[in-house]
Amino acid sequence: MTSKTRVLSALRGEKVDRIPWVPFIGCHAAALIGAKAGDYLKSEALMIQGLEAAIRRYQPDGIPAAFDLQIEAEAMGCKLTWAEENPPAVISHPLALGVTLDRIPVPSADAPRLRAVLNTARALSKAHPDIALYGLVCGPFTLALHLLGTDIFMKLFDDPAGVKTLMEFCTTVCRTVAGYYVEAGCDVIGVVDPMTSQIGPEQFQEFVTPYMKPVFASIRRQGVLGSFFVCGHAQQNIAAMCDCAPDNISIDENIPLDYVRDVCVPRKISFGGNIQLTTVLLLGTPEDSQRNALACMETGGTTGFVLAPGCDLPYATPPANLEAITKLVLDPYQRDVLKATAVTDTQKEVLDMRDYGQSDRIIVDIITLDSEACAPCQYMVEAVRKVTPEFDGVVEWREHKIKQRESLVFMTSLMVRNIPTICIDGQITFVSRIPARDELIAAIQKRIVEKTRIKIKQRRSSLYILGDGGTACKQIKANATKAITELGVDANIEMITEPERILAYGISPIMQPAVVVAKYQVKSTRTVPEVAVVKEWVKD
């Protein structure tokens, strides 16, 4: 199976030898060759160079010629603003500025940026005939929004007929541009319509389905396959998207992949996407990326599933993260190893933490990703490190980097969910928040007081009042009773008046009235303590 046949088979819902990998590389390819996104997306030469670099590094089964939903809008008169690390954004909506629809052109294949992307597609399909080439077109609803602005939502009520006319026109654009991509050698047309996530299924059926259906029918008539891309909270529309009869539906991380699978598969539509763009691919590690990809692969399976990120990869995605996914895709052994460690994680050894934090010292545990690699973790560790000397050996602190297995077990056992977190004597105290110095000191002091109180409570004592039992002795007894009540401690008071017993305490008549306090602690019950243990008690 070649990469291309693997992608096409998966898109058709057929079983494949392994899951195809289609990184949606847009301006990220610019980063690979050190170009700015704005220069890259305007230059055929840079796009070819960038995609060649991406193909070398990521060994994809499929790749898009470009990922920029503003190409059509620009050719139709929308003004753009450019960025260094992002595709451009539309900043003017001609229909909102009084331009009438009949004056807006269907983009020609010679529109400069469209021509650059089409030429890129031609060059790539020639150089890599075995890779499935995706041509991405801006979906009609998103294009309508580019042309009209967010007024479109108001017009769904105020002027539904007008919105339908606009959708009709945008559909024509969509079909025309899809035709250009097919002619340029693309094997798959992705119709990318993220703004449909904003409407509910009823509006979708009224304003999108009738227009989108002919788009996919026309794509199929041209001998290629069609994928419907959406991003955002679009779960409510997945079934309606299926009714548009695409070959495939591609979603981002906002929709659970198993939900999409369960809606698509019975309708004989393949699915894909879902690898988390920001949290995992951009900000995570290669291992995070592999784990996320593996989870997607486990849900997706080898029939009718395409492994892909949720949307256009961020410019600054670390290549190592994508390379790690490539390794996982190509190497079943890597998948097995990862699966095995994942299984142990799910078994979750949980330690019994009931007696944790009962020693004389105060234990401060900081659960981090790694204080050397994560700034908030570092600040949290520093905060604790600076405060502990104040307590002169009473407070002990430890960092638990959850990259290490035992730390992960420790974190789970303490029921910590967020990183970084400070636990004081096993109690979650500061979650994802670096406490101010005073706040941290106060929290530790509070625990010290608490422990002291517990200790006091565990102690028992007897208070003996030695004397003649007269007014002074009675006053002492009253005061002692009050003190014991106020402290809430377990103590008994005894008045001793017999001279010989008083003498046994070493108190002569001239020293009376006197008070003797005897303290005792329960050290063991129902055991015969070892000599060494008793020695420790006596020393204490």
Partner 1 sequence: MNAEPSSIEFRPPFPLVILTGYLGAGKTSLLNHLLALPSIRGRKVALIINEFGTLGIDGLKVEAGVHAKFELNRGSLFCICIKTEFIKTLTTIAGEVQPDLVLVEATGVADPCDIEQFLDVPTLAGRFRVQASVCVVDAEGFTRVAAFMQSARRQAVWADGIAINKTDLVTPSDLGILRHVLTGLNPRAPQVEVTYGRIPDTFLYSLVHERRPEPASERPPEDMVSVSLQTHRVVDRAAFMGAIMSLGDNLLRLKGVVRFHDGRFFVDVVNGRVTEEHPPAGSEATAFVAIGWQVSRDTLGAAFRRTWEVMGSNETHEL
What strands lie across the sheet with 395-401, from one edge to the other?
395-401, 362-368, 421-424, 427-431
Choose which of 44, 72, 253, 425 interacts with partner 1 (CB under 8 A). Answer: 253
Among residues 379 and 505, whose Cβ is nearest to partner 1? 379
Residues 467-506 within binding reach of partner 1 (CB under 8 A): none
Residues 34-63 within binding reach of partner 1 (CB under 8 A): 37
285 lies in the site for partner 1, by CB under 8 A: no
Q: Is 422 in a helix, a strand, or coil? A: strand
Query: Percentages helix, strand, coil for the chain, rounded to the nearest 5?
Result: 50, 15, 30
In one-letter notation, the amino acid at residue 321 is N
Distance CA 407, CA 404 (A): 5
82 lies in the site for partner 1, by CB under 8 A: yes
457 lies in the site for partner 1, by CB under 8 A: no
How many C-beta atoms lie closer than 10 Å to residue 173's C-beta?
Answer: 23
Among residues 62 and 284, whose Cβ is nearest to partner 1? 284
Choose which of 252, 365, 399, 425 interacts with partner 1 (CB under 8 A). Answer: 252
515 lies in the site for partner 1, by CB under 8 A: no
Q: What is the DSSP letter of 86?
A: S
Choose which of 98, 355, 375, 471 interacts with partner 1 (CB under 8 A). Answer: 375
Distance CA 37, CA 333 (A): 37
Of 193-201, 333-341, 447-455, 496-504: span binding partner 1 (CB under 8 A): 193-201
278 lies in the site for partner 1, by CB under 8 A: yes
Choose which of 268, 348, 386, 405 interacts with partner 1 (CB under 8 A). Answer: 386
Residues 129-148 within binding reach of partner 1 (CB under 8 A): 145-146
Place of tokens 């784990």: 291
Choose which of 436, 456, 511, 518 interacts with partner 1 (CB under 8 A). Answer: 436
Q: Is 45 in a helix, a strand, or coil? A: helix
Of 175-183, 200-208, 517-525, 529-537: span binding partner 1 (CB under 8 A): 200-208
Among residues 97 and 330, whose Cβ is nearest to partner 1? 97
Beta carbon of residue 430, minimum distance to partner 1 (angstroms, whole number): 8
Provide the β-strand partners of residue 188.
134, 225
Which residue in 455, 429, 427 sits closest to 442, CA to CA?
429
Beta carbon of residue 203, minimum distance to partner 1 (angstroms, whole number): 6
In one-letter notation, the amino acid at residue 187 is D
Distance CA 35, CA 31 (A): 6
233 lies in the site for partner 1, by CB under 8 A: yes
CA atoms lying within 13 Å on the CB side of residue 210 = 12
Contact, 326 vs 289, CB < 8 A? no
Note the Cα 314 to chain centre separation in Å.
16
Choose which of 93, 400, 401, 447 interacts with partner 1 (CB under 8 A). Answer: 93
Among residues 178 and 383, whose Cβ is nearest to partner 1? 383
Q: How many residues sit in the footprint of partner 1 (CB under 8 A)?
A: 79
